[in-house]
Amino acid sequence: MDEQQLPPDDISEEELRAAYEEQLKRVRVQDVLIQSVVSLLNLGGRKAGLAGGEDEKDLEQLHQAIEGVRVLLPLVEDTLGPDAKQLRDVLAQLQMVYAREAGGGAPDAAAPDAAPEDEKGAGPAQSSGRLWVPGQ
């Protein structure tokens, strides 16, 4: 049996470290970032209650997943090419779930304090062209 096929119990710490170093040489940062984005989107879906059960729903964790993806996705969009749109769509869905669940719906137009806001002009979503998420 050669060294590559030794059972885990027969591998020395030095051999294990060398194998790990060899793997690290092949890994690209973009690959880790893409995997992180996909993992955060999947986990965000669970924390939004879209997969799994209601007992997994956690808005704070969902918010952190959304923020993580918003930071990382622009770093890998060029690498992803056309696949980036699919990930952006998933992110938008998670943001909408978070906004709805966190009570960030549109203010009631009949509310007395809504009129002055309407007179000031466009809100955060209209002025930036981006989806507004409560707490940001």
What is the average pLDDT value for the chain, to the nearest integer? Answer: 79
Residue-wise pLDDT for 4-40, tens only, equals 555 566 789 999 999 999 999 999 999 999 999 999 9
- The pLDDT assigned to 5 comes to 57
pLDDT value at position 11? Answer: 86
pLDDT of res. 111: 41
Q: What is the pLDDT of residue 26?
A: 93
How does DSSP assign the chain, residue by residue?
--GGG--GGG--HHHHHHHHHHHHHH--HHHHHHHHHHHHHHHHHHHTTSSS-GGG--HHHHHHHHHHHHHHHHHHHHHHTTHHHHHHHHHHHHHHHHHHHTT-PPPPTTSTTHHHHHHH---HHHHHSS---TT-
pLDDT confidence of residue 4: 55
Whole-structure pTM value: 0.64
| Residues 100-116: tens digit of each pLDDT | 998 855 444 444 444 44
Q: Would you kindly state where each structural domain of the chain is located, as residue ranges?
A: 11-106
For 127, residues 6+ apart whose C-beta sits below 8 A from its C-beta are 121
